Chain A
Amino acid sequence: MLLSCIKNENRKLHHSVIWLACVFIPIIPAVMGTGNYQMNLEILHDGWYSLWTQFSLFYSLFFFPPMIGLYAAYLWRLEHFNHNWNTLMTMPVPEIDICLSKLFVLCKVAVITQIWMMILFFLCGKYIGLPGGIPIDMIFWSLRGTLAAFAIGSCQLFLSMVIRSFAIPIGIALGGGIVGMLLTAMNSSYGFFWPYALMFMGMNANKSANVLSGTMAAYLISNVFFFVLFLGIVLFILKKKDCK
Chain B
Amino acid sequence: MNTIIRTKGLCKSYHQKAAVKDLDLTVEQGSIYGFLGPNGAGKSTTMKMLLGLAKPSAGAIQIFGKTMNAKNRISILGNTGSLIESPSYYGHLTGEENLKLLASMKQVPEAQVEEVLSVVHLNGAKDKKATYYSFGMKQRLGLAGALLGNPSLLLLDEPTNGLDPAGIQEMRSLICTLPQRFGMTVLVSSHLLSEIDQMATHVGILDQGELLFQDSLSALHESSRPNLRIHTTNDKKASLIFKQMGFAPSYENQSLVLDSLSDARLFEVGKQLYAQEIGILRIAEDEASLEDIFLKLTGRSLS
Binding site for B on A (CB under 8 A): 1, 4-5, 7-8, 11-12, 14-16, 78, 81-87, 89-94, 239-243
Contact = CB atoms under 8 A, between A and B. Distances in A.
B82 interface: yes
B48 interface: yes
A241 B54 CA distance: 7
B182 interface: no
B74 A15 contact: no
A92 B90 contact: no
B75 A83 contact: no
Interface in B84-112: 84-93, 97, 100-102, 104-107
Contacts of B231: none
Nearest to B89: A82
A81 B75 CA distance: 27
B53 A15 contact: no
Give the residue among B52, B97, B101, B145 with the most A Cβ atoms within 10 A: B101
Given A83-B88, A93-B74, A242-B55, A12 B106 contact: no
Given A11-B97, A11-B101, A15-B93, A89 B52 contact: yes
Given A4-B104, A11-B100, A83-B87, A242 B77 contact: no
Interface string B69-85: 01000110110101011
Nearest to B85: A83
Interface of B: 48, 51-55, 70, 74-75, 77-78, 80, 82, 84-93, 97, 100-102, 104-107, 145
Contacts of B78: 92
Contacts of A12: 90, 93, 101
Contacts of B85: 83, 86
A236 to B, nearest CB: 12
A87 B102 contact: yes
A12 B94 CA distance: 11
Nearest to A7: B104
B101 A242 contact: no
A15 to B, nearest CB: 5
B139 to A, nearest CB: 12
Contacts of A84: 88-90
Contacts of A91: 77, 102, 105-106
B70 A90 contact: no
Nearest to A8: B101
Counting from the closest, the 10 A-B pairs by CB-CB distance are A92-B78, A243-B53, A91-B105, A83-B88, A92-B77, A87-B88, A242-B54, A86-B84, A84-B88, A4-B104
Given A4-B107, A92-B107, 18 more contacts: A5-B105, A8-B101, A8-B104, A14-B97, A15-B93, A84-B88, A86-B48, A86-B53, A87-B102, A90-B53, A92-B77, A92-B105, A92-B106, A93-B74, A239-B70, A242-B48, A242-B54, A242-B55
